[in-house]
A and B are shown apart, each in its own frame.
Chain A
Amino acid sequence: MSIARTPLLAALLAAALVSSALAQSNAPDPWPSLVTDIFQGREIAIADGAVSLEAPKRAEDAAIVPMTLRFPDPAKVKAATLVIDQNPMPMAASFTFGEKAGVDSIETRVRVNSYTDVHAVAETRDGKLHSEVKFVKASGGCSAPAGKDPDEARANMGKMRYREFKSAIAGKREAQIMIRHPNNSGMQMDQLTRTYTPAHFIDAVEVWQGDELIFKMEGGISLSEDPNFRFTYAPNGAKTMRVVAHDNKGGQFEAKWPIADAS
């Protein structure tokens, strides 16, 4: 089972370069150029209600900042992208949803490197883009070390967990996928040897109920160590939840679990 790659990753890397150049010149707002790089300069409606973003005003732990995207009308949403404007690699995660997935909300955890705007951009099935922006105060989430315990992170890489919760929305289910991975940012320079720990991160995840896609994600170093996704979805009666994850060094990780009381 391989994961389809798109040119998005290339755009993401290009955006990373632009962003770091901007950071050095103290440019006030990287967003216009991010719109060009990530969204090909397309028009983006602001706060029109198609997507909302929950983000903390001040991050408690800059390496684990919870972000929740909500979609009041999930049937109309095709994809959503989370952009942390001032991060070295601003595109944190780009989600594409299955046609009948019915994802009302998705929460993940990211690193925030400095005070920044965070944009949630949704693409509706009519091809239009919609956004909401929040300002987050945090620092050091990317250049700080990824792992509090690198030995453990290495030993457990690729392990996954699945949890289910009662959804507050009638007819929906809520689940959480957790993937053990150091998600090294490649930004920690060894002061003593002047070398960098190579970037090593989950760059793609697919989540399936039976043979229907709930969502796939493409991501980068802005996702926290041990990538974590909590989401609601419309159950299709399938009896298994299956995850395929992939990292930038060719690592592939798969797991599946029975869905409780599948009907």
Chain B
Amino acid sequence: MLRCFLALLAPLLVAVLAPARAADEARFQLEEIASGVYAHQGETSLMTRENLGGIANLGAIVGDRAVAVIDTGGSLIEGKAFLAALREKTDKPIRYVINTHAHPDHIFGNAAFVGPDVTFVGHKNLPRALAARGEHYLSAFRQIMGDALDGVTIVAPTMLVADSTTIDLGGREIVLQAWKTAHSEADLTVLDKKSATLFAGDLLFLRHVPVVDGSLLGFLDVVDRLAEIKAERVVPGHGPAVAPWPKALEDERAYLMRLTADLRAAIKKGESVKDAAKTAGEEERPKWKLFEDYNARNATAGFAELEWEGP
């Protein structure tokens, strides 16, 4: 009897819940962190159906003639919400969509921005990374996110950055820098010279434990080179929407150094990868969120990388 009652009620529940979800989208937060520079703070969590994949920080830079969007979110729904929120801030045309790398939480919103006058920009390795991973990402996150993944397509960049490129948005130049394999094989940063704001993509994690999906040693090296960039503030890929520069790098550097030192010691002692993955980096646990989800994975891949070090 109760079951029948619930069955009758189900369509009503859907009707009640659907507008609530729409309202959530309308509340997409987009903060002006410097004049003409916007950032959205993602949730520090894994991508789920409930959060619509909205876990990465996103941004936009508005020039006199054009707008550049930096990353688009973890679903088409989030990408559309971002676009709608941006439209409330400016009516200047969006000419560039810059993808800081190939991970789904940063690119799954791309389709919301596709248009005849929009250029998608990425690291020279981004097409290759999307080619190798795109299908897997779509099927893996379909399982996790269900219909929240509807409409997500892989959009390839047409403008590639091999080293460094400057884009003029009209009275406002942004510098795009491609990095060697670090967080991933296709990391790109964006520096707004006018406001001295750096968009670091996932070369910078705050609160969210750093994820190494490229090279541990490469990541450490790139962190040191990033520190030389002259900027006042940074938008990390995960964590608060904005943080002071270059101080924001300190926690991440400490984590990567601890993990590297622990792994090197384990390899020297002749430990196996599975034992090393249980203990390496453990000291850093209290400082980070999602440590349980990523540290042992970082340690496993890092072990396989560091094993090849030396003569």
Contact = CB atoms under 8 A, between A and B. Distances in A.
B274 to A, nearest CB: 5
Contact of B273 (A64, A144, A145, A190): A64
A210 interface: no
Query: Closest 3 CB pairs between A and B?
Result: A191-B134, A190-B131, A145-B132
Interface in A69-87: none
16 contacts: A60-B297, A61-B297, A148-B181, A148-B213, A148-B214, A148-B215, A149-B214, A149-B215, A150-B132, A150-B185, A152-B181, A178-B308, A188-B132, A191-B134, A192-B130, A192-B154
Contacts of B301: 61, 63-64, 148
B304 to A, nearest CB: 6
A191 B185 contact: no
Contact of A188 (B136, B214, B215, B270): B136
A143 B181 contact: no
A193 B128 CA distance: 11
A234 to B, nearest CB: 19
B51 interface: no
Interface string B99-133: 00000000000000000000000000001111111
B131 A192 contact: yes
A161 B140 CA distance: 35
Please classify the interface of chain B as helix (H, G, I), strand (E, B), loop, or mixed, using the class held by over half of its residues.
helix
A191 B256 CA distance: 33
Contacts of A249: none
Interface string B283-295: 0000000000000
Contacts of B308: 161, 178, 180, 226
Residue among B133, B185, B215, B304 facing the most chain A CB atoms (10 A cut-off): B304
Given A66-B273, A148-B214, A149-B215, A188 B135 contact: yes
A178 B138 CA distance: 33
A193 B154 CA distance: 12
B29 interface: no
B136 A140 contact: yes
Contacts, number: 87
A36 interface: no
A190 B132 contact: yes
B273 to A, nearest CB: 5
Contacts of A178: 307-308
Interface residues of A, number: 36
Contacts of B185: 148-150
Please classify the interface of chain A as helix (H, G, I), strand (E, B), loop, or mixed, using the class held by over half of its residues.
loop
Interface of A: 54, 56, 60-61, 63-64, 66, 68, 107, 109, 139-140, 143-145, 148-150, 152, 161, 163, 165-166, 178, 180, 188-193, 197, 224, 226, 228, 230
A17 B301 CA distance: 30
B48 interface: no
A68 B272 CA distance: 10
Given A107-B272, A149-B185, A161-B307, 10 more contacts: A139-B140, A144-B133, A145-B133, A150-B185, A188-B131, A188-B133, A190-B132, A192-B156, A193-B131, A230-B272
Nearest to B138: A191
B297 A191 contact: no
Nearest to A142: B136
A191 B130 contact: yes
Contacts of B215: 148-149
B135 A140 contact: no
B188 interface: no
B135 A109 contact: no
Residue among A143, A145, A180 facing the most chain B CB atoms (10 A cut-off): A145
B135 A166 contact: no
Contacts of B132: 145, 150, 188, 190, 197
B48 to A, nearest CB: 16
A109 B307 CA distance: 14
Residue among B127, B272, B274, B297 facing the most chain A CB atoms (10 A cut-off): B274
B187 to A, nearest CB: 12
A16 B296 CA distance: 30
Nearest to B218: A149
Residue among A149, A188, A197, A230 facing the most chain B CB atoms (10 A cut-off): A149
Contacts of B274: 54, 56, 66
A145 to B, nearest CB: 4
